[in-house]
Chain A
Amino acid sequence: MSNQNRIYKGGRIDRDLAINFKFNGKEYIGYQGDTLASALLANDVHLIGRSFKYHRPRGILTSGSEEPNALVQLGLGARTEPNMRATEIEIYEGLEASSQNCWPSVNFDIGSINNFLSRVFPAGFYYKTFMWPPSLWLFYEHFIRKAAGLGVAPTVKNPDRYEQKFHYCDILVVGGGASGLMSALAAGRSGCDVLLIDEKPEPGGYLRNTSAKIDNLNSNDWTNEILKELESYDNVTILNRTAVMGYYDYNYLTALQKVTNHLPYLSDKMPRERYWRIRAKKVILAQGAFERPLVFSGNDRPGIMLASAARTYLNQFGVLPGKSVILFTNNDHAYGTAIDFANKGAKVTIVDNREDIPSELSDRCNKVKIKIYPSHSIINTHGYQKIKKVEIQKVDQDNNELTGSLREIECDLVLMSGGWNPSVQLFSQSRGKLEYHSKLNSFIPKDLIKNQKVVGCNNGNFNLLEVLKNSYQAGLDFATELGKSANKSLEIETAFEDLEFTEAKVEPYMIGKKKVTHGSKHFVDFQHDVTAADIFLAQREGYISVEHTKRYTTTGMGTDQGKTSNVNALALMSHIHNKPVDNIGHTTFRPPYSPQTIGAIAGRNVDHLFDPERKTAIHQWHVDNGAEFEDVGQWKRPHYFPQKNENIHDAVNRECRAVRNSLGILDASTLGKIDLQGPDVAKFLNLIYTNAWSKLEVGSCRYGLMCNEHGMVFDDGVTTRISENRYHMTTTTGGAARVMSWLEEFLQTEWLDMEVFCTSVTEQWTVLSISGPNSREFLSSLADVDISKEAFPFMKMKEGKVCGIDARIFRISFTGELSFEINVPSRYGLFVWNEFMKHGKKYDITPYGTESMHVLRAEKGFIIVGQDTDGSVTPKDINMDWIVSKKKEDFLGKRSFSRSDTRRIDRKQLVGLLVNDKKTVLPEGSYVVDEAKPRPPMDMIGHVSSSYYSPTCDHPIALSLIKNGLNRMGDVVKIPLMSGKVIDATITDSIFYDKEGARNNE
């Protein structure tokens, strides 16, 4: 039998449009307009999944985004999505969904053994059991991850497209229910640029499922009229299926729009989801309220749902989820649901824990043959996969004890209503302060932030007429503030809500046969299986702060973020500590408001668009010639150029030998380059670098170290005086932007009178570094300037033509070999490179990558800032005191060199390390110790910062920062490896090759 719970007319579904879908492999039929939850209920499917911890059977609690229980795995393959709320999924032809967190099936789930072992799975169970000893955590984690958790993530890449949109508007209205519609209407009529956002497929909210009447129209028809008017305004945009996720400073909000999720097909032209980033001049929050569950023993069985949700299924979807219905409540408003159910033919019994039921209510119930049990509570429930029976008993209000005789009532549906909680999550995210409302027994907004209003139930007002009028006024007020006004006032005269919500208690209903404080199953947080007993336990164990209780018990930490559970948990704490809820406080609400896909947040910024890639002018040549690349910042740099069967070691050894024996070429274009101009550059450089710059002649280069004010090295490079008032500074590849900002900082904030102008020219120049004993002979045939040894000494720069192109030639070296750095405008870079490769054949010109560059410089003991330094290293620590001027009165960092800490003689210092076995290449980052012990902790005296096999020396070399290292030459130290092996190494000088520097001066 299909759709056995469907009533034959009414609701917002289209009974002519049947839709086939599958749940747990079984085929069902629903109708256009159904959610997965409503279609399953129509087919009398109540058991949707299993709970997180105890694997208890769970059904549908709500009808919206606050759903904690009915989470399903939606879709298959690459598009599968876990933890989707059945209450939000709109069904489409061919939809497939399945229960999660159960094995082998939802009907028979092995994990449910946890339910019977619940006494050994109390709150904080994981912390208590699995966190010690720490070494075993990896072992436990594997099993916990498998046993816990909800749905499964897709294992292949999601093929869908996600878009992002920036949006600016006058007034953003969050929520399209009664209040939101009114605010949007007023703002829209005033000509404001309005964005109205609603979670559901169509706005209307509560007005879609109640029996309210507004000016003699039923609320549904009235809503359609308002919508029609709103849609007629060009200045009003309505977003359905969109949830505001985050509310940040200055009215910046993010929202997730589900664009095609509800369709059976995916269009190439449409994204799956669109992520909105909204900046609104004014924000009106009109999110309504969530109904509060009651906390009683066994309140989690399938077939127990919130009264308002049941009313929605009945009135909006034409589904009567049960025929023998019990309503358990503490407030008048829920009676409306009972009466609606009775009118549709259900047998309804009301269990009301209040003593005095208004006579108007009992009279109306009598008319539709609803039996009421005042002063009663449900104290237990029965039915494993679906509710079958409840036990009720009279409660003595004074001492909260059971009196009278126990009564059992058979049923197939239990509705509960504990009152309503305004949806204050977004308001709270925006830093709005909350206050506890003593009649509603819930938190409502208190202090608004700037340019924000909260209206309707969201603000704790449940009177329909007042809500409509106040919300309209809120829209008008904001329009006026923006200099606009409406030409129409609100014409509503009457709005009649059948039964208004005015007050409800959150006293402890958690009375039961079993003592609630220990091991009973009064669920507070359904998704995380947190019981009242868990809350009691947390208090007993000292986790009495609300934030501690939350984390210890995990209440409110599920994908629903405790929308249905938080207030009940707080009320329980209030009861336990005998303090008002105000004094208990509440936890912090954080974005996102409900779960959202990472895909939407990433948008188009995926794959190669995730982070910009920077490529030099020579890049394509590197690709064509088989370079292996490495990322240096955002730059793609050739790491090495393997030939035929070479691995990285073969290639690097070959490249290094080529440089040492003949001619190598490096694409050094990524080097940071800053053009400095102005009369005060020399003065400026004197303050920026540690050495002296006043006497640098035009055409000369100088190496410099930059320190921060703490005296720590933070960049290095060569700066050249191009002309009287023009200098060319180079920086490390990774430090270019940092150095540029550093220079600007001092020019703009400290030395405002200095005339120095900085321009980044990194990408304007291609830098070809040629290095090797044949480099001069090679270059002399291509350059039109005299580059002989006499005419062009080390650390000089000449301008001239190279291969016919205007170039700057720098006689500097980072390999220790005779080297030239040829800078040409980037547009000629590839041309010159190709010319070099052509003419260099004679010398077997060999392109080399960053790995060889590192080896070659390490052989010479040249540092790499950021590798051999780490922000805690002074020039003296790296044995470069020679570059620190003793004469200059001031430069950045100078004063810090004489601080007691930087003066210490036992600081870590840069030295060479040679392994005694002559073959082990130490892993970079290895710890250096004097005394190796079988296991940590050991006293660390330093670490290995650079380590390579040196083809030139034919043995491994390493640089290391070691305590007092410069005074320990020849000492043997130990390097314990991860494998447990301990390597002996000898402290040496940090220059391993050509100590005199003869080769460079060839």
Chain B
Amino acid sequence: MFVIKCPYCGERDQTEFSCHGEAHIARPENPETLTDEEWGEYLFIRSNKKGIHYERWTHDHGCRRWFNVMRDTVSDEILATYKMGEEKPKS
């Protein structure tokens, strides 16, 4: 069970959080102009990385804020956490 550093609250137990999958997938600005394939890409296609992975988490049982996590999916080591809108750290 991880210890996650919420960018707003500090280190907390994983039980306070939930994960919401890959980060940095922006909702397309004008969905209507997209082809089915492009829309499908946004909806369904995820990188499923082995190694450094950027993902969205929420501090549900805490400040309820969304933030991003940089995690090594092999070791499960959390390498960084950062606020929404901030640039992703380099791997």
Contacts and interface: CB of A to CB of B under 8 A. Distances in A.
B36 A900 contact: yes
Given A249-B76, A710-B43, A752-B85, A895 B31 contact: yes
A234 interface: no
Contact of B1 (A248, A450, A748, A750): A248
B9 to A, nearest CB: 15
A252 B1 CA distance: 6
B17 interface: no
Nearest to A752: B85
A896 B66 contact: no
Interface in A761-786: none
A250 B39 contact: no
Interface string B12-45: 0100000010000011001110101001101100
B79 interface: no
A750 B32 CA distance: 17
Nearest to A744: B64
A279 interface: yes
A745 B20 contact: yes
B3 A250 contact: yes
B22 to A, nearest CB: 12
Contacts of B64: 744
B62 to A, nearest CB: 13
A279 B1 CA distance: 10
Interface string B41-79: 011000000000000101010001110000000011100
Contact of A249 (B2, B30, B60): B2
A752 B64 CA distance: 15
Given A250-B1, A250-B2, A749 B43 contact: no
Contact of A745 (B36, B66, B77): B66
Contacts of A894: 31-32
Contacts of A449: 75
Nearest to B1: A252
B39 A895 contact: yes
B84 A895 contact: no
Nearest to A890: B31
Contact of A896 (B26, B43, B76): B43
A959 B43 CA distance: 31
A186 B76 CA distance: 30
Contacts of A881: none
A895 B39 CA distance: 8
A748 B66 contact: yes
Nearest to B74: A431
Contacts of B27: 709, 750
A249 B1 contact: yes
Interface in A866-924: 889-890, 894-896, 898-900
Nearest to A893: B31
B32 A890 contact: yes
A634 interface: no
Interface string A635-654: 00000000000000000000
Contact of B77 (A279, A450, A709, A899): A450
Nearest to B44: A710
A667 B56 CA distance: 38
B1 A896 contact: no
B86 to A, nearest CB: 11
Contact of A744 (B31, B39, B66): B66
A741 interface: yes
Contacts of B3: 250, 279
Contact of A889 (B32, B36, B40): B32
Contacts of B40: 899
A481 to B, nearest CB: 17
Contacts of B36: 898-900
Contacts of B32: 889-890, 894-895
A748 B77 contact: no
Interface string A789-826: 00000000000000000000000000000000000000
Nearest to A246: B1
Nearest to A889: B32
Contacts of B31: 890, 894-895
Interface in A209-268: 248-250, 252
Contacts of B77: 450
A748 B20 contact: no
A716 B20 CA distance: 23
Which of B26, B34, B39 has most A Cβ within 10 Å? B39
A709 B1 contact: no
B84 A749 contact: yes
Contacts of B65: 748
A898 B77 CA distance: 41
Which of A249, A750, A899 has most B Cβ within 10 Å? A249
B2 to A, nearest CB: 5
Contacts of B13: 279
Contacts of A252: 1
Nearest to B39: A895
A657 B87 CA distance: 62
B39 A749 contact: no
Contacts of A752: 84-85
Contacts of B34: 895
B58 to A, nearest CB: 7
Contacts of B75: 431, 449
B60 to A, nearest CB: 8
A279 B14 CA distance: 12
Interface in A260-316: 279
A756 to B, nearest CB: 14
A899 B60 CA distance: 33
Nearest to A901: B36
A493 B61 CA distance: 54
A818 B25 CA distance: 47
Contacts of A710: 43
Nearest to B85: A752
A62 to B, nearest CB: 32
Nearest to B26: A750
A894 B31 CA distance: 8
A894 to B, nearest CB: 7
Nearest to B36: A899
Contacts of A900: 36
Contacts of A898: 36
9 contacts: A249-B2, A250-B1, A431-B75, A709-B27, A741-B58, A744-B66, A745-B20, A745-B66, A889-B32
Pick the 9 closest A-B CB pairs, nearest first: A895-B31, A748-B66, A252-B1, A250-B3, A248-B1, A750-B27, A749-B66, A895-B39, A249-B76
Given A250-B3, A899-B40, A900-B36, 20 more contacts: A248-B1, A249-B1, A250-B1, A250-B2, A252-B1, A431-B75, A449-B75, A709-B27, A741-B58, A741-B60, A745-B58, A745-B66, A748-B66, A749-B56, A750-B27, A889-B32, A894-B31, A895-B31, A896-B39, A899-B36
Interface of A: 248-250, 252, 279, 431, 449-450, 709-710, 741, 744-745, 748-750, 752, 889-890, 894-896, 898-900
